Structure 1
Amino acid sequence: MLLLSLTAITIHGQSPMSLYFMETIPQSHHDNAAMAPRANAYISVVSFNYSLFSDVSMKDFLQQSGSEWVTPLHKNFDYGEFYDVIGDALNMGTRGDISALGFGFSSGRDYFSFQFSEKAVIQAGFSSDFFKLPDAGLPKGAMFDFSTMRLKAYAYKEFSIGYARELTDRLTVGVHVKPLFGQAIGMTDISNMSLSIGENQYDIRVNGDIYTSLPMEVYSKSGEFPDSIKFKDLEGDDYLNNYGTSFSNPGLALDFGGEYKFSDRWTFSAALNNLGFIQWNEDLNALHAEGTYAYDGVEVSASNWDDLGDVFNDVADELKETLSYNHTHDGFTSGLTPNMYLGAQYHVNHAISFGGLSRTTFQKQNWRQEFALSLNYNSYRFMALNVNLNTRIKGSTYMGACTMWYMGPLQVFVMIDNVPFHLDNYYDENGNKTQIPGEFKDLNLMAGVNLVFGSKGFRDKPMIGRNK
């Protein structure tokens, strides 16, 4: 319940790419620890993020075949095109954070910062072989590998302590040391899950684990599948007192960043973030399942989804009885999702620049690659603006934008990435038209309020086109 409630409130953890070159916004240094903001000091009142991503869009699931739209269960659905999009696994998820109690200040060539955040992450992966079942059915001699399937949902607190140092007039380096404290998690770790279709039987192999740290009790007999699961009866402030403020599941993460001013016009930067883990010690349940099961199968047609459903139900019931299970309460470790930034910035003058940015996100058995080109306007007074064009491999191309406004020391900013260019017309079986964002796969939103003092900061260097 705690995990679901946190996720409903805050969904993100990876900033919009619009933020990276917005050096008048203090939160920009979260993406690169070396990029200290243009402010002698700041207080982060509150900021929040929301994002979701998927390897497939609605148009990948709803393909146009002649005058109609077809789903993966239709005989005219083009599975070859679908597999080209998802590769070995279809990945999707949401990430979120809400940050407060942040501040930073400069001291000579040094910049110090601190930030507290609540974060939530949901990640899911579905093996491409799962989608081959309605495509090919269960023909003899076929083998399906589901080992890339995964689910991970967790919530945690993060304290970020940042330090940036201007080593020379050209080179700045920075680091964030981030103590973490886990609040809730549910995750799978599948080593092997496969289905082989023989002449007279289906051979099913399973070797995997399910881990949780949640307020629940799991009842099971030795070597058997759990009989029941019961969540603890916590009311009112019990969730907050026992989980929201808990420090029982410690962890640590590190961010590293560097920025090099190659010339008055060109600046290059790189960052490697979220290198870390959480050790889970409270309210633990771990279930290991292992074994091979032979099921006396029947011939199933790919066009008959009901037959496939009956087979899955029968197999699931039998697996509960035949696999070997081991239920423990041992501690376990979960990793974060690292990402890497590579940036290049061309300064027209002190306020206007063009930027190119690459972001790579590393997930288990998968990675995501995104690129952005941006026009950035960072003024000392009144406002700042970013407009960008961003795309990702096996994704779509979108527009993004960021705007920031000064009202005395009060700073307010809003940004959004991955705005769809257009809507597609979808016609149902009765000919009724509905407009859908057919190529929509990603969404990134961020907004916040800061108090900024001495907005020129130690980045206030004479530059091209600026009057001294």
Structure 2
Amino acid sequence: MKRNKIFGFLAGALLMAPAATFAQQALRSGYFLEGYEYRHVMNPAFGPDRKGFVSFPFLGNINVGMSGNMGVSNFLYKTPDGGLTTFLNESVTASDFLGGINQNNRLAIDYNWSIFSMGFSKFGGYNTIGINLRTNVSATLPYELFEFMKVGGKGDNTVYHMENIGVSSKAYVELALGHSRDINEQWRVGGKLKFLLGGLNASAMIDRMDVEMTDEQWKVQGSGSLDLAMKGLKVPTNEESKNPGDYEADKAQNINYSDIELESPGLGGFGMAIDLGATYQLREDLQLSASLLDLGFISWNSNTHGVMSMEPWVFDGFKDVPYNSEDDMGNEKPNSLENQIDNLTEGLEDYFSFQREGEVSSRTAALGATLNLGALYTFPYYEGLKFGFLSSTRIQGKYSWSEGRFSANVAPTSWFDASVNYGISSYGSSFGWLINFHPNKFNFFIGSDHQFVKITPQFLPVNNANMSISMGINFNL
């Protein structure tokens, strides 16, 4: 698989759907819903209101979502002929584009797919087994980066300073073994032990980047690092993959993105993590809960490390993208959006220039942990109605985020319950919901933490990039 497929997809996804994260680790709308089988994912102390369950293989719990403080409309614009063009097009004014950009543009993408799950009562408590595929992408992109991309040398500024540019991605398979039990009438505790099989880990961290216009060219100097860990991933330098006359001598050790390829994929790393949780019945009508999730690490092998050169390098700038381009006959034809994004990708490759350092080695990286704190109040005149507040905090350095979510939860019958909720987070506000059917021997649920209203044909949110959908089919024991 060549670079233009790998790198182009990542760059295009990050910039065209920022701040990106198919970001749905678990359906937080179901945290207080006692009939929801996967509450234990958010707090391992939660027990079932039934004997247990077995998931429909590959369909038991699917979570897909996106969170961010920007959307597609910030980066793609309609042309007069009904097509699409990027924000670099000269017809898009700097004020129109930059007016929708935040000082700190955030991205978080989590995807959790349950391959197999089950829960059962045994050994004095409740036990869970889960095999899950999990991915995470996080990014933070400063306003100055987009200002430079759009305005460049056409504005008054000839010097740009950028800090804290970061993109991180990982994918792994998780085997989770959980157990929870009552300590007394008030306390219930639980925990999980997770074994992690790593597939991919990529991280680019740029602490500072200075750009200055000199002699009609941009001089760039930065401090940052790049790590790419994936079994079988070949990351060549210019010296290894190009003819001597095709690159400048001082760029011999620069990573050649165009020739990155995947030769023999396999297990890229191994790690472990734990989840801890507890509930406390403060009063008959008030329950408190807390959990700490994904406290652990993955040791990645086959890691390629790159650094930014301490010496400045020259960058030609991001080019305007026209509405039309000419074919071989000299006739104008629409310039496809794919070609426009390819041009943008090439500019990003030149701008973020890393030199490979040393040979392939190993690297250990912590997971992003999540802290949940909850309070559940039972309505005194109807026990089937409960009100909850959930505070969730992702602890992941510069990619950290927090959310507060208020919910109303109702269980009118023994086989149906539902939740409606409203959340305020680092990515903005959102409306969530969940409906959960669990008659005898069968369970189906569907819900969302970020109900989307307006989307593109590719199912990307047009405005703020907040959307999610969760669903699953399971069998009750």
Structure 1 residue aligned with 2:229: 213
Instruction: Count how many residue pairs are aligned between Structure 1 and Structure 2.
Output: 413
Indicate whether 1:224 and 2:253 are aligned. Answer: yes
Q: 1:389 aligns with which of 422, 426, 442?
A: 422
What are the superposed Cα offsets for residues 107-156 of structure 1, whole Å, 9 maximum, x if unpaired? 47622221111112222332221122257645787653434222223221
- Matches of 1:165 and 1:210, distance apart in 2: 44
Counterparts of 1:336-375 in structure 2 under 5 Å? 336-348=367-379, 349-375=382-408
CA contact (8 A) 1:396 1:439 kept: no
Indicate the SS of the match to 1:291: coil
Q: In the TM superposition, what is the alpha-carbon distance from 1:265 to its structure 2 partner?
A: 0.8
Q: Classify 1:28/1:191 alpha carbon distance in 2 versus 1 (closer, same or farther; 3 Å).
A: same
Counterparts of 1:16-55 in structure 2 under 5 Å? 16-45=27-56, 46-55=60-69
Q: In the TM superposition, what is the alpha-carbon distance from 1:100 to its structure 2 partner?
A: 3.1
CA contact (8 A) 1:249 1:280 kept: yes
Range that drifts further, 14-23 or 366-375: 366-375
- Matches of 1:314 and 1:260, distance apart in 2: 55
Range that drifts further, 168-177 or 287-296: 287-296
> RMSD of the alignment, in Å?
4.1
What are the superposed Cα offsets for residues 29-84 of structure 1, whole Å, 9 maximum, x if unpaired? 10011112222222233221111112213565689xxxxxx96864472678545x
- Matches of 2:295 and 2:73, distance apart in 1: 35
Q: In the TM superposition, what is the alpha-carbon distance from 1:230 to its structure 2 partner?
A: 4.9
Q: Classify 1:144/1:362 alpha carbon distance in 2 versus 1 (closer, same or farther; 3 Å).
A: farther
Structure 1 residue aligned with 2:411: 378
Q: Classify 1:267/1:109 alpha carbon distance in 2 versus 1 (closer, same or farther; 3 Å).
A: farther
The runs of 5 or more residues in structure 1 that have no matched partner are 64-69, 427-435, 454-468
**TM-score under structure 1 length normalisation:** 0.74
Structure 2 residue aligned with 1:261: 281
CA contact (8 A) 2:87 2:150 kept: no
Q: Classify 1:183/1:437 alpha carbon distance in 2 versus 1 (closer, same or farther; 3 Å).
A: closer
Indicate whether 1:161 and 2:177 are aligned. Answer: yes
Structure 1 residue aligned with 2:337: none
Indicate the SS of the match to 2:311: strand
Q: Classify 1:109/1:346 alpha carbon distance in 2 versus 1 (closer, same or farther; 3 Å).
A: farther
Indicate whether 1:95 and 2:110 are aligned. Answer: yes
* Percent of residue pairs bearing the same amino acid type: 20
Q: 2:303 aligns with which of 266, 279, 284?
A: 284
Indicate the SS of the match to 1:77: helix
Range that drifts further, 220-229 or 248-257: 220-229
Paired letter, 1:152 = S
What are the superposed Cα offsets for residues 187-215 of structure 1, whole Å, 9 maximum, x if unpaired? 22334333245799865322322222332
Range that drifts further, 91-100 or 104-113: 104-113
Indicate the SS of the match to 1:358: strand
Q: Classify 1:50/1:313 alpha carbon distance in 2 versus 1 (closer, same or farther; 3 Å).
A: closer
Structure 1 residue aligned with 2:441: 409
CA contact (8 A) 2:74 2:97 kept: no
Indicate whether 1:445 and 2:469 are aligned. Answer: yes
CA contact (8 A) 1:288 1:327 kept: no
Indicate the SS of the match to 1:224: coil
Paired letter, 1:15 = A
Paired letter, 2:415 = F
Q: In the TM superposition, what is the alpha-carbon distance from 1:318 to its structure 2 partner?
A: 9.9
Range that drifts further, 336-345 or 192-201: 192-201
- Matches of 2:346 and 2:473, distance apart in 1: 52
Q: In the TM superposition, what is the alpha-carbon distance from 1:260 to its structure 2 partner?
A: 1.3
- Matches of 1:445 and 1:451, distance apart in 2: 21
Q: In the TM superposition, what is the alpha-carbon distance from 1:413 to its structure 2 partner?
A: 1.1
Structure 1 residue aligned with 2:270: 250
- Matches of 1:351 and 1:41, distance apart in 2: 21
Counterparts of 1:7-156 in structure 2 under 5 Å? 13-45=24-56, 46-58=60-72, 74-75=92-93, 77=95, 82=100, 86-88=102-104, 90-107=105-122, 110-133=125-148, 137-138=152-153, 143-156=159-172
- Matches of 2:156 and 2:23, distance apart in 1: 44
Structure 2 residue aligned with 1:419: 451
CA contact (8 A) 2:53 2:120 kept: yes
Q: Classify 1:28/1:278 alpha carbon distance in 2 versus 1 (closer, same or farther; 3 Å).
A: same
What are the superposed Cα offsets for residues 243-276 of structure 1, whole Å, 9 maximum, x if unpaired? 3xx4x51111222222111111111112221222
Indicate the SS of the match to 1:419: coil
Q: Classify 1:71/1:291 alpha carbon distance in 2 versus 1 (closer, same or farther; 3 Å).
A: closer
Counterparts of 1:309-320 in structure 2 under 5 Å? none
Indicate whether 1:334 and 2:345 are aligned. Answer: no
CA contact (8 A) 1:174 1:258 kept: yes
Paired letter, 2:294 = N
- Matches of 2:144 and 2:117, distance apart in 1: 46
CA contact (8 A) 1:159 1:179 kept: yes
- Matches of 1:314 and 1:256, distance apart in 2: 45
- Matches of 2:475 and 2:287, distance apart in 1: 27
What are the superposed Cα offsets for residues 351-392 of structure 1, whole Å, 9 maximum, x if unpaired? 321111222223332432222221112366321111222232
- Matches of 2:346 and 2:32, distance apart in 1: 52
The runs of 5 or more residues in structure 2 that have no matched partner are 14-20, 78-85, 241-251, 322-342
Q: Classify 1:450/1:394 alpha carbon distance in 2 versus 1 (closer, same or farther; 3 Å).
A: closer
- Matches of 1:414 and 1:316, distance apart in 2: 41
Paired letter, 1:341 = N
CA contact (8 A) 1:134 1:305 kept: no
Paired letter, 1:272 = L
- Matches of 1:157 and 1:317, distance apart in 2: 34
Q: In the TM superposition, what is the alpha-carbon distance from 1:95 to its structure 2 partner?
A: 2.0
**TM-score under structure 2 length normalisation:** 0.73
- Matches of 1:409 and 1:274, distance apart in 2: 31
Paired letter, 1:449 = I
